[in-house]
Amino acid sequence: MQDLPHLTLVLGGARSGKSRHAEALVEALPAPWTYIATAQAWDDEMAVRIAEHRLRRSADWITVDAPLDLADAIRGAPRARPMLVDCLTLWLTNLMLAERDTLAACDDLIAACAAAASPVVLVSNEVGLGIVPDNALARRFRDESGRLHQRLAARAGRVVFMVAGLPMQVK
């Protein structure tokens, strides 16, 4: 497996294999690894998804929950330990629901990634390929996630787009 660049962005649709691919990228490096999780279990279905993710990870993964303060979690991660952030679209949703300043949070995230002492792999859902959402909040979410992806992709050493479990190297 190739060396992992300082910043990698893994994008794709729902159930496209993003998380598994990102985990494999990080696991190609020596353990231990840091998994920064942004999900919150708002309902039973989401609790099951979170449990499934946790169960498939070995004890070499140290999980940090950061549903809102993602940049601080990246800054606070142990040095020289590769980290995976899963996922940015859940994080952005959490920020919007908490009525946080998303632009400032995204700026802070980008700065934290740039300053990280070890490789960072970011996972996010590509939500801009479908129909135009029918409400203002959903359109704002789509637009903000698209802008964040563009900013991160410009800085990333590698960008992967997942389709049906297959990684497509974009950059």
| Residues known to be catalytic | 53
CA distances from 66 to 95, 130, 131 (A): 11, 28, 30
Contact 167, 25 (CB under 8 A): no
The C-alpha angle with vertex 87 and arms to 44 and 13, in degrees rounded to 5, equals 85
Q: Phi and psi (nearest 5°) for 107?
A: -60, -45
Instruction: Map 43-69 to HEC letters.
Output: CHHHHHHHHHHHHHCCCCEEEEECCCC
**CA–CA gap between residue 35 and residue 163 (Å, rounded):** 23
CB atoms within 10 A of CB 170: 12
